[in-house]
C-alpha cells in the first residue's frame, strides 16, 4: 500500500505549479518550461484552444441571432458583466456570468472575470506601456503605500524580453515618463490626431500625444511566425479571439509555446482551494485542487509555486491557505494580505467635434489610437491631489444618413450618405492611492459551489480620486478649446470601481516583511518557494495599462526561481 501511495504521489508531482493561465500565468509557464522545468498549469475554467475554440471569430453581424446585441434577459440576469464594453452576443462565452460565481460587495465593485484557459488575455484591450522610474519611485517620493523594492533598471531588460516575444507596436518617442521599448511599426495617427499633437506641442509643452502602444503584430518577426502567429489585419473584434494570432494572448502565444516543449501539463477545470504548507520543511509543498465538474478534492505537489490567478483570486487563494503557522493566510504575519487593493479611475470622459480637415476621412480600422502619457505632478507637486492620469485620444469621421421623409424620399435619404464632422474623445486613466481600508476578506460562513469561502470586496474611490476627475475635465476642456474643438461635452460616469478591470494589490511587494508580502523577486517573504507575479503583487498602480508589467515580472521571477532551485535554496 505504501508503494502505491508513493507511485500516486509521483504522478502528481512536478518541478513547478502555475495557478492561472491568463497573461501572467501563461508567461510563468513559458519561462519555467523554457528552463527545463516539468510544469503543471492549473486553470479553473474550461479549455480554450487557439483557433478551434473561437466560435464567433469570423461571424458577420447578420449571422448572430440578435444581430450581435445582448438580449434583455441576458442583461437582466447579468447586471454586472453587462456593463463591460466587451460583453456582447459574440463574446458571452468568454465571460463569467453573475450568478455562477457570486461575491459580496461591501462597497460597489464590478468584478469582470473570464474563467477559461487564457483567462482575460482573450478579451483584454491590448494597450501596453512600460513603467518609468517616476512610477517606481512614486510611493517613496509622494509618501503613500510603501517603497517599491525595485526600480526601472531592474525591469527594463525583462520588458525588452517580453516585448520581442509578444509583439508590441510603438514609436521611439524619447519620453522619460514612458520609456521606449522593442517596437514593431506603430499605427499611424489620423490627420486630426496629428493636428492635436501639434496643438499640444504649441500650447502645452510637456503634454505629448503619441501613437498608442499595442500588443498587435503590425509587422510580424521570425519569432512570431515561429509561434504560429500572423499579421494583424485590423478587424478590431479581438475580444472574440483572433484566428490569425494577430494580437497577443496566452492561447495564441505562451501556452502553445510551452506545450511544444513537452514539459507542460495543462489541467483545466481545476479550482484551486489553497496552497499546502509543510510546517516541518518551512515551505509550500503543493496545491489543493477541486475538480470543477466532479467536486473531487485532489493534491498536486511541486518545488516552486507561481500564483497567477488574477489579483483578487490570488488574494483569495492565499487568504484561504491557512495552517498552524499561518492562521491568517499564507505568509501573512504582517496582516497586510488582502489590504491596499487599488485600481484605475476610468470615470471621466470628454468628447467634442472639429470642422477642419473635411477633405479627409477615416477608412478601415486600426487597433489603437492616440495616447497622452501622464503630465500632472510628474516633476513636482502642482495640484491638490497626489499622482496623475493618462488618457487616450481618438479622432474619426462617420457616415450620416437621414431617416426623414416617406416613400421614395425616405429611400433616397437612407441610400445617400454624408460624412459627419470629425469627432474626438478622451477618457481618464487615473492612478488611485492604495489604502488599508481598500481590502478583500473571506466570508466566515458563505461558500461557493466548490466549498471555497466567498470573497468580500471593500474597495472605493476617495477624495483624491474626485479631485483628479475634476482636474482631468478642466485640463482637457482647456486643451480641446485651444485646439479649436467645438461642442465640448464632459461627463463623470460615476461607475463603480472594478469596471476598469485593472484591480491590483493585496499581496504587494516591498522591502519589509512587516509592511509587505513579497520581496523584490515577487517571492513571499515568509514562504520563499511561492511567487506572485500577477496584479496582486503591485505596490502602486501608476497610470499605465498594467499587463506588460505583469509579463515582465513573471519572466524575471521565473528566471530567478529556477536559479535558486538549482542552488537548492528553495
Measure the CA–CA gap between 199 and 393, rounded to whole angstroms: 13
Confidence (pTM): 0.96
Please report how many Cα atoms fall inside a 13 Å half-sphere around the Cα of residue 485, on the Cβ side.
28
Task: Give 516's contacts (C-beta < 8 A, 6+ positions apart).
Answer: 146, 149, 334, 336, 508, 509, 510, 525, 539
What is the rounded average pLDDT of the residues 379-392? Answer: 97
Candidates 483, 370, 379, 385; CA nearest to 427 is 370
* pLDDT computed for residue 151 by the predictor: 98
pLDDT tens per residue across span 142-193: 999 999 999 999 999 999 999 999 999 999 999 999 999 999 999 999 999 9
* pLDDT computed for residue 8 by the predictor: 66
pLDDT tens per residue across span 331-353: 999 999 999 999 999 999 999 99
Q: Give me the percent of the chain exceeding a pLDDT of 90.
A: 93
Contact 66, 73 (CB under 8 A): no
Measure the CA–CA gap between 457 and 74, rounded to whole angstroms: 24
Measure the CA–CA gap between 553 and 570, rounded to whole angstroms: 19
Specify the residue for cell string 488582502: 338
374 has a pLDDT exceeding 90: yes
Specify the residue for cell string 501572467: 24
Q: What cell was used for 198?
A: 501639434
Measure the CA–CA gap between 268 and 266, rounded to whole angstroms: 6
Band the pLDDT of 3: cuts 50, 70, 90: low
Q: How far apart are the first and last CA of the chain?
A: 30
Where are the alpha helices (H) located in 303-417, listed in sequence order?
311-320, 407-415
Question: 44 in the Ramachandran plot: left (φ > 0), alpha (ψ -120 to 50) or beta?
Answer: alpha
- 382 phi and psi angles, rounded to 5 deg: -120, 0
Contact 301, 15 (CB under 8 A): no
* pLDDT computed for residue 127 by the predictor: 97
Specify the residue for cell string 473571506: 442
Q: What is the mean pLDDT of the chain?
A: 96
Specify the residue for cell string 450568478: 99
10 has a pLDDT exceeding 90: no
Choice between 365 and 252, residue whose per-residue pLDDT is larger: 252
88 has a pLDDT exceeding 70: yes
Measure the CA–CA gap between 527 and 153, rounded to whole angstroms: 26
130 has a pLDDT exceeding 70: yes
* pLDDT computed for residue 474 by the predictor: 98
Q: What value, to the nearest 5°, has the Cα angle with vertex 329 and ends 23 and 17? A: 40
pLDDT tens per residue across span 273-329: 999 999 999 999 999 999 999 999 999 999 999 999 999 999 999 999 999 999 999
Band the pLDDT of 400: cuts 50, 70, 90: confident
**CB neighbourhood size of 97 (10 A):** 16
What is the rounded average pLDDT of the residues 59-71? Answer: 94
Q: What cell was used for 126?
A: 491590448
What is the rounded average pLDDT of the residues 565-570? Answer: 94
* pLDDT computed for residue 402 by the predictor: 80
Where are the alpha helices (H) located in 102-260, listed in sequence order?
133-136, 138-142, 152-166, 191-203, 222-226, 254-260
* pLDDT computed for residue 411 by the predictor: 86
Contact 374, 388 (CB under 8 A): yes
Question: 36 in the Ramachandran plot: left (φ > 0), alpha (ψ -120 to 50) or beta?
Answer: left
Q: What cell was used for 160?
A: 525588452
504 has a pLDDT exceeding 90: yes
* Helix and strand totals (H; E) in the chain: 13, 24
Contact 39, 305 (CB under 8 A): no
pLDDT tens per residue across span 12-59: 999 999 999 999 999 999 999 999 999 999 999 999 999 999 999 999
Task: Give 363's contacts (C-beta < 8 A, 6+ positions apart).
Answer: none
Specify the residue for cell string 487615473: 430
Band the pLDDT of 75: cuts 50, 70, 90: very high
Q: What size, in residues, is the chain?
A: 570
What is the rounded average pLDDT of the residues 484-488? Answer: 97
* pLDDT computed for residue 363 by the predictor: 79
5 has a pLDDT exceeding 70: no
Where are the alpha helices (H) located in 321-446, listed in sequence order?
407-415
Band the pLDDT of 365: cuts 50, 70, 90: confident
DSSP per-residue letters across 20-59: --SHHHHHHHHHHHHTT--EEEE-SSB---TTTT-TTTT-
Q: What cell was used for 118?
A: 487564457
Measure the CA–CA gap between 235 and 493, rounded to whole angstroms: 28
Question: What string of H, E and C letters represents the secondary structure of 76-117?
Answer: HHCCCHHHCCCCCCCCHHHCCCCCCCCCEECCCECCCCCCEC
Amino acid at each position: 500500500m505504501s508503494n502505491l501511495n508513493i507511485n500516486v504521489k509521483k504522478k502528481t508531482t512536478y518541478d513547478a505549479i502555475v495557478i492561472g493561465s491568463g497573461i501572467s500565468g501563461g508567461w510563468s509557464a513559458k519561462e519555467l518550461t523554457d528552463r527545463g522545468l516539468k510544469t503543471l498549469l492549473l486553470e479553473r475554467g474550461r479549455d480554450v484552444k487557439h483557433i478551434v475554440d473561437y466560435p464567433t471569430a469570423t461571424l458577420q453581424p447578420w449571422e448572430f441571432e440578435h444581430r450581435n446585441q445582448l438580449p434583455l434577459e441576458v442583461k437582466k440576469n447579468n447586471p454586472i458583466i453587462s456593463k463591460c464594453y466587451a460583453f456582447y452576443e459574440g463574446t458571452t462565452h468568454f465571460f463569467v456570468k453573475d450568478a455562477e460565481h457570486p461575491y459580496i460587495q461591501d462597497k460597489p465593485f464590478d468584478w469582470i472575470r473570464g474563467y477559461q484557459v487564457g483567462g482575460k488575455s482573450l478579451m483584454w484591450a491590448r494597450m501596453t506601456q512600460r513603467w518609468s522610474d517616476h512610477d517606481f519611485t512614486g510611493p517613496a517620493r509622494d509618501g503613500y503605500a510603501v517603497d517599491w523594492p525595485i526600480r526601472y533598471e531592474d525591469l527594463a531588460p525583462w520588458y525588452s524580453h517580453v516585448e520581442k516575444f509578444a509583439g508590441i507596436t510603438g514609436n521611439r518617442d524619447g519620453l522619460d515618463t514612458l520609456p521606449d521599448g522593442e517596437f514593431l511599426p506603430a499605427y499611424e495617427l489620423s490627420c486630426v490626431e496629428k493636428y492635436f499633437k501639434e496643438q499640444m506641442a504649441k500650447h502645452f509643452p510637456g503634454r505629448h500625444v503619441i501613437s498608442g502602444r499595442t500588443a498587435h503584430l503590425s509587422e510580424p518577426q521570425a519569432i512570431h511566425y515561429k509561434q504560429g502567429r500572423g499579421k494583424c489585419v485590423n478587424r478590431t473584434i479581438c475580444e472574440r479571439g483572433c484566428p490569425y494570432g494577430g494580437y497577443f494572448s496566452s492561447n495564441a502565444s505562451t501556452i502553445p509555446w510551452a506545450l511544444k516543449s513537452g514539459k507542460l501539463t495543462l489541467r483545466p477545470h481545476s479550482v484551486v482551494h489553497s496552497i499546502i504548507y509543510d510546517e516541518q520543511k518551512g515551505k509550500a509543498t503543493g496545491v489543493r485542487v477541486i475538480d470543477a465538474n466532479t467536486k473531487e478534492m485532489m493534491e498536486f505537489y511541486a518545488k516552486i509555486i507561481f500564483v497567477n490567478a488574477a489579483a483578487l483570486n490570488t488574494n483569495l487563494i492565499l487568504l484561504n491557505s491557512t495552517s498552524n503557522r499561518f492562521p491568517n493566510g499564507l505568509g501573512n504575519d504582517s496582516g497586510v494580505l488582502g489590504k491596499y487593493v487599488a485600481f484605475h479611475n476610468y470615470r471621466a470622459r470628454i468628447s467634442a467635434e472639429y470642422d477642419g480637415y473635411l477633405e479627409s476621412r477615416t477608412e478601415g480600422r486600426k487597433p489603437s489610437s492616440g495616447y497622452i502619457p501622464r503630465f500632472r505632478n510628474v516633476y513636482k507637486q502642482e495640484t491638490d491631489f497626489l499622482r496623475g492620469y493618462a488618457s487616450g485620444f481618438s479622432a474619426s469621421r462617420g457616415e450620416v444618413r437621414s431617416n426623414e421623409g416617406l416613400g421614395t424620399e425616405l429611400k433616397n435619404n437612407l441610400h445617400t450618405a454624408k460624412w459627419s464632422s470629425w469627432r474626438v474623445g478622451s477618457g481618464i486613466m487615473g492612478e488611485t492611492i492604495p489604502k488599508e481600508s481598500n481590502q478583500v476578506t473571506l466570508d466566515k460562513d458563505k461558500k461557493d459551489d466548490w466549498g471555497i469561502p466567498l470573497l468580500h470586496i471593500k474597495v472605493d474611490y476617495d477624495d483624491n480620486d474626485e479631485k483628479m476627475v475634476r482636474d482631468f475635465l478642466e485640463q482637457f476642456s482647456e486643451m480641446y478649446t485651444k485646439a479649436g474643438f467645438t461642442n465640448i461635452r464632459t461627463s463623470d460616469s460615476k461607475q463603480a470601481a472594478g469596471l476598469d478591470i485593472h484591480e491590483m494589490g493585496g499581496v504587494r511587494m516591498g522591502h519589509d516583511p512587516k509592511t509587505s508580502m513579497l520581496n523584490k523577486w515577487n517571492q513571499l517573504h515568509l514562504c520563499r518557494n511561492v511567487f506572485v507575479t500577477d496584479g496582486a503583487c503591485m505596490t502602486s498602480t501608476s497610470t499605465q495599462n498594467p499587463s506588460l508589467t505583469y509579463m515582465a515580472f513573471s519572466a524575471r521571477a521565473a528566471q530567478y526561481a529556477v536559479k535558486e532551485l538549482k542552488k537548492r535554496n528553495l
